[in-house]
Amino acid sequence: MSPSNHTDYTDRGYIIPIGGAEEKLHNPEILDRFVEVCGGTSARIAIIPTASELEDTGRNYEKLFRKLGIRHAQVLQMLTREDCHQSEYVDYIEKSDGVFMTGGNQLRLSTTLGGTPVAQTIRRRNAAGMHVAGTSAGAAFMPEHMIAGGDEGSTPSPAMVTMAPGLGLTNKFIIDQHFRQRDRLGRLLTALAYNPFAVGIGLDEDTAAFIRPGDNLEVVGSGGITVIDPTNLSYSSMDRARRDEPVSLIDVKLHILIAGGRFEIASRKAIAE
């Protein structure tokens, strides 16, 4: 799926991928910022826990958002594709200021939501100004090209990553999560070698990219974001490498950004703060 069409791209809502394990109790900076972006305590937030197999994931986030002052936070418990056709869920998203997708397994999100009225509504509403956040699997699911799984390690190789269609909120980025904690540099590089058009975002835990309309990214949280820019890629051995062989990539640019850091997609410029 590609991003939903909209006549004025500057009206698009924020896209907020979170690297997982975000702080929820003592200083929930990322979630506080999400609430602020959505309009404060009067905002309406739809919580989608589909990626998780734990029954209480959605309710736990609902309680958390209420603790942050949100009066209108509701879990949309969509376990099947049939659920994603229910008008009550579509209507709630239509009236929401923000959508929050929990962690778990991103293939549960893509195979359950993909192509349904709920997914179409999220894409259309984000294009019209609704903000969408996702943590861990919810973050991976956001772009058009989704990392569905892969191996740990720093050196790319053809078999290191499995790709699948994502939600399609943006085609400018490929997103990976738990990045430093799970040694995922190699699989993000592999994904970019397959698709050098996109910029890679590797999100550490408790770290988020607040992507504004116009695709300008700001880092929020306690960790770092690895931004991989393949714009000037001059050589790749991906086309001739065998399944488990290492891949050579030359002239790939890498940035490490921490809280307050920014990346501008139009100019491909990284700014420390």
Residue in 22, 62, 144, 205 annotated catalytic: 205
22 given a catalytic annotation: no
Concerning whether 178 is annotated as a catalytic residue, the answer is yes
Catalytic residue among 62, 178, 236, 255: 178
Catalytic residue among 96, 136, 157, 236: 136
Q: Residues 201, 225: contact at Cβ < 8 Å?
A: yes
Distances (CA, A) of 115 to 81, 118, 159, 239: 9, 8, 27, 31
156 token code pair: 């790319």
Tell me the CB-side half-sphere exposure of residue 130, using CA atoms within 13 A. 22
> Taking the CA of residue 31 as centre, how many other CA atoms within 13 Å lie in the half-sphere pointing to its CB?
26
Give catalytic status of residue 145 as yes or no.
no
Least Cα distance to 146 among 168, 124, 127, 126 occurs for 168
AA identity, residue 61: Y
Active site residues: 136, 178, 205
